[in-house]
Amino acid sequence: MLKEKVLICLSGGIDSSLAALFLKEEGYDLIGVTFRTWDYISEGCWEKQKGCCSIDSIMEAKNFAKKIGIPHHVLDLREHFKNTVISEFVSEYLVGRTPNPCVRCNAETKWGEVIKLADDLGCKYVSTGHYAQVRKENDRYVLSRGADESKDQSYFLWMLTQENLARTIFPLGKWIKSDIKKQAASRGLVKLAEKRESQEICFIPENNYRDFLKEQVPDIDKNIGEGNFISTEGKILGKHKGFPYYTIGQRKGLGIALGEPRFVVAINPLKNEIILGSYEDLVSHNLSISKINLIKYSEIKANQKVEIKIRFRTPPIAASLLPEGDFIVITTQESMHAVAPGQSAVFYEGNDVVGGGIIM
């Protein structure tokens, strides 16, 4: 007898494909879905989009679903994606902040819209190939790191609500990526095991967000244009191409030679100024976050001890939390480097995600 219905998100890649196989082998009644979020167009011509959600990936997912004998749906979310993820991505850069589109996509698309489809199809659960884990504890659903530290994706999932997590299955949470590749090969899925994985933002195949901004906002250079590089002492150092093209911590590609390394330490969008300073000028011990989502606990206590990550690839560091109304002030003893407004700060207790927020 089949278990409950599960809507499995298939990208055409190895992780979601193996997640589907594991669920099928456990007896779940599976339905596959692949979402179409973006058409990459440049200079009037269609270009082959890399990563998830491309036409090739959609067809690979559909063929895989047919191969393992499950129904498959393609969910056209291009308009939704444009009005949420893309819109926020562009607007954040236009106010001098650095967005994290993958976090918003997970909350708005991979769970928000997919759960709506799950309801329409009578599916109790949704599932993905993320390397993360979820469990129920003390009447709350707790998100925790995947067993493979190098592949753990819990950082990108901090926006998931209790309602989202209650309906989520992560089949790969306890697996190591190298073992997943072996599992694929042992099942005859050699091409999947050898398939190169994209590390880029799905709608920016060449990883050049500056060109993307120009495509989305054709008059960006006319309306913003050149501005001044400013030293931390207020001295004009030279000209830059426009504040949206720079991010906190950036050193390369500034287009200015000062005889010693200089980094973007602040962005002033009102004056179209980029402030340059030393590496030491990027060091801080506190930050504030807004748009908070709590996962492990329903509230945060004053001076609660956690570990925080301010980027996906940086290791967590010890911190304390101080709630202040709709915000949380985070203080660390160990120094943080290049804290960028708009990015996500995610706080952990051991392997569990306590919650997260957007850096102010």
Q: What is the set of active-site residues?
A: 105, 202
Residue whose C-alpha is closest to residue 128's, from 261, 226, 256, 33: 33
Contact 326, 358 (CB under 8 A): no
Residues 6+ apart with CB under 8 A from 52: 11, 12, 13, 198, 202
Spatial distance between the Cα atoms of 165 and 87, rounded to a whole number of angstroms: 26
CA distances from 216 to 117, 213, 246 (A): 29, 5, 17
What amino acid is encoded at 309 in this protein? Answer: K
Q: What is the edge-to-edge ordering of all strands in the sheet holding 263-268?
A: 236-240, 227-231, 273-277, 263-268
First vs last C-alpha separation in the chain: 51
* Residue 253 and residue 208 in contact, taking contact as beta carbons nearer than 8 Å: no
Distance CA 7, CA 264 (A): 44
